Each structure stands twice: as structure tokens, then as C-alpha cells.
């Protein structure tokens, strides 16, 4: 059977880190005429109910099931919005959708798909902190649900060796309180104790909290699953703010001293 074009489509939409002002007009437009909304419960709850929109909220651990559900709805002619926090391509649903398409049928792959970007947590955190991502950086998810700890440890070592600024996503959860402690222990053995560290929690939300410290002083227990942890490079530094606080930034050129 040939893959007939179908009215249905899938839009994978980034909702940003929290506030409505950080949702792009493109994301809003992509949501406006969707018939079905799929995502992890807290993200789906951010979209107000309206006539003509069916909301399907699911638990976080079932990304592939969620993607397959979206494909089934789209094949039935629905306009399906899959929502993610932050950017949908950063540790989120867009990749899960492509996995489902990759392993799916010709009918699945005939569907129209579009990806609508959002502000990722590391960008929102960086804006609050100053400009820590001003030079080369990498992002590492500490979730070992989806990859073994050996892989995380190898990447951490390489990131430290390469002197990248590191943004940690998924630093801890109730099921995995240990990862962030293991990550800090490893980094402390590889980087200077004076390396700046920031814990940026719930950025853009009412319960936002920023903690600035150093690798030697950092308490890994400060991080929970709503926290983005930023580890500086050898160049990253603090400068004073007029209100007594501090900015964190990484200079644009490597090795330059003001």
C-alpha cells in the first residue's frame, strides 16, 4: 500500500522554561488550531483548555509511547501538538518523535512534521546569571535512565579536559539522587576548586532561585530536578553587580586577560 498524504500533522512545540512571555509567537500560532495536545502533564497543563482541543497528558517516562500515540492521532487526520518544556529538540520530545518515525511505517513517515523551537533552560539560566555561555560550552543530561553512568563519566572527563563550560540538565531526581554527587566528585578531581558554579532553579517561575558558588564549596544537594547547573571553564569569572550580587560570564576570547 502506498503512503497516501493525509490531513493530519504533527507539530513539536517548545514552551520555554516557564513564563508565557518566553513562548515564541510561532509556538503560539502552532498551538492555535491544533486539535490534540500531547505531553508530560505539567507542560500540557500550561495550555488553557479550549473547545476543539483534546488534551492527552501522560507521565514523563513514556516518551516513545507518547510519540507513537501522536502518530496514530495524526494518521486519523488530527493536528497534533506535542509540547515540551524549553526547546523540544534539547533532551525532549522531538528526538523521541523521530525515533518513532525511524522505526515506524511508510504511513507514519508520510505525515507532515514541523518543529517549533523554544528557549532552552540553559539559555534562560545563562541570561539570569550573566553570560556564562559566551565561549565554548556543552550540555550534558545527568539522567541515567536513558544511558549508562559510564557514558556520562566519559563525557564529563572529556568536557573537563576540553575546558568547556558545562550545563547539566536533569541533575537529580528522587529516583536518582546520587548522579549529581558522583558528577561533582569527578569534576572536583579534574578542575580547580575555584571554578565558578551556579545552580539556577525554576528560572522564570515564581519559585526561581539562583545560587552562585565554586566547585570547592558547592553542595550538590542544592540541585533538584528543576535546576540547571552551570560549571565554569577556567576562564569563567564573577564580576560585581551594583546591588551587591554578582554576574557570571565567560569572556569571548580564550586566554585574554583584561
Question: Residue holding cell 564529563?
Answer: 156
Binder to ligand SAH among 71, 81, 84, 232 (CB under 6 A)?
Answer: 84
87 interacts with ligand SAH by CB under 6 A: yes
- For the record, the C-alpha cell of 179 comes out as 548522579
Residue 80 CB neighbours (<10 A) = 27
Least distance (Å) between residue 223 CB and ligand SAH: 8
220 interacts with ligand SAH by CB under 6 A: no
Residue among 23, 35, 168, 13 at smallest CA distance from 92: 13
Integer Cα distance of 209 and 24 in angstroms: 24
Q: Which residue is nearest to ligand SAH (CB)?
A: 86
Q: How many residues bind ligand SAH (CB under 6 A)?
A: 25
CA 53 to chain centroid, in Å, comes to 26
Segment interacting with ligand SAH (CB under 6 A) among 31-39, 57-65, 219-227, 240-248:
219-227
Integer Cα distance of 197 and 195 in angstroms: 6
Residue among 153, 170, 173 at smallest CA distance from 229: 170
Binder to ligand SAH among 47, 74, 81, 121 (CB under 6 A)?
Answer: 121
Residue 192 CB neighbours (<10 A) = 11
Task: Please identify, using beta-carbon distances, which residue of 92 and 113 lies nearer to ligand SAH.
Answer: 92
204 interacts with ligand SAH by CB under 6 A: yes
Binder to ligand SAH among 227, 233, 236, 250 (CB under 6 A)?
Answer: 227
DSSP structure class, residue 20: G
Compute φ and ψ for 2, nearest 5 degrees: -80, 155
Segment interacting with ligand SAH (CB under 6 A) among 45-53, 69-77, 169-177, 236-244:
169-177
First to last CA, the chain: 67
Binder to ligand SAH among 11, 15, 18, 37 (CB under 6 A)?
Answer: 18
225 interacts with ligand SAH by CB under 6 A: yes
170 interacts with ligand SAH by CB under 6 A: yes
Report the interface residues with ligand SAH, using CB under 6 A: 17-18, 84-87, 90-92, 120-121, 125, 169-171, 200-205, 225-228
Amino acid at each position: 500500500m502506498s503512503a497516501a498524504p493525509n490531513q493530519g500533522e504533527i507539530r513539536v512545540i517548545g514552551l520555554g522554561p516557564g513564563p508565557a512571555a518566553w513562548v515564541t509567537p510561532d509556538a503560539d500560532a502552532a498551538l492555535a488550531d491544533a486539535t490534540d495536545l500531547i505531553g508530560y502533564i505539567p507542560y500540557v497543563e500550561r495550555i488553557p483548555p479550549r473547545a476543539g482541543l483534546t488534551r492527552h497528558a501522560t507521565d514523563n517516562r513514556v516518551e516513545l509511547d507518547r510519540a507513537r500515540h501522536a502518530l496514530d492521532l495524526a494518521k486519523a487526520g488530527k493536528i497534533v501538538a506535542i509540547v515540551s518544556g524549553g526547546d523540544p529538540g534539547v533532551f525532549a520530545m522531538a528526538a523521541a518523535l523521530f525515533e518513532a518515525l525511524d522505526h515506524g511505517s511508510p504511513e507514519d513517515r508520510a505525515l507532515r512534521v514541523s518543529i517549533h523551537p523554544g528557549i532552552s533552560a540553559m539559555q534562560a539560566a545563562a541570561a539570569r546569571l550573566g553570560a556564562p555561555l559566551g565561549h565554548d560550552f556543552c550540555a550534558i543530561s545527568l539522567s541515567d535512565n536513558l544511558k549508562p553512568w559510564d557514558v556520562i563519566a566519559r563525557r564529563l572527563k572529556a568536557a573537563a579536559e576540553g575546558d568547556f563550560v558545562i550545563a547539566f540538565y536533569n541533575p537529580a531526581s528522587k529516583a536518582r539522587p546520587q548522579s549529581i554527587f558522583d558528577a561533582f566528585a569527578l569534576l572536583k578531581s579534574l578542575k580547580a576548586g575555584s571554578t565558578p558554579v551556579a545552580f539556577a532553579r525554576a528560572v522564570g517561575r515564581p519559585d526561581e532561585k539562583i545560587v552562585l558558588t565554586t566547585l570547592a564549596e558547592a553542595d550538590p544537594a542544592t540541585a533538584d530536578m528543576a535546576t540547571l547547573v552551570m560549571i565554569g571553564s577556567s576562564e569563567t569569572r564573577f564580576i560585581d553587580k551594583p546591588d551587591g550580587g554578582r554576574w557570571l560570564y565567560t569572556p569571548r576570547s580564550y586566554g585574554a586577560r583584561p
